[in-house]
Chains A and B, each alone.
Chain A
Amino acid sequence: DAGVIQSPRHEVTEMGQEVTLRCKPISGHNSLFWYRQTMMRGLELLIYFNNNVPIDDSGMPEDRFSAKMPNASFSTLKIQPSEPRDSAVYFCASSLGLQGNQPQHFGDGTRLSIL
Chain B
Amino acid sequence: AQSVTQPDIHITVSEGASLELRCNYSYGATPYLFWYVQSPGQGLQLLLKYFSGDTLVQGIKGFEAEFKRSQSSFNLRKPSVHWSDAAEYFCAVGPSYGGSQGNLIFGKGTKLSVKP
Contact = CB atoms under 8 A, between A and B. Distances in A.
A22 to B, nearest CB: 15
Contacts of B101: 31, 33, 48, 95, 97-100, 102-104
Contact of B102 (A33, A106, A108): A33
Interface residues of B, number: 28
B43 A103 contact: no
A103 B46 contact: yes
Interface stretch (B17-25, B75-83, B104-112): B104-112
A40 B95 CA distance: 25
B43 A4 contact: yes
A107 B43 contact: yes
B50 to A, nearest CB: 10
Interface residues of A, number: 25
Interface in B26-46: 31-32, 34, 36, 41-46
A107 B98 CA distance: 26
Interface of B: 31-32, 34, 36, 41-46, 49, 51, 90, 94-104, 106-109
Interface in A1-28: 4
Interface of A: 4, 31, 33, 42-43, 45, 48, 55-56, 91, 93, 95, 97-109
A4 B98 CA distance: 26
Nearest to A56: B102
Contacts of B107: 42
A105 B47 CA distance: 11
A100 B94 contact: yes
A11 B102 CA distance: 27
Nearest to B6: A42
B100 A99 contact: yes
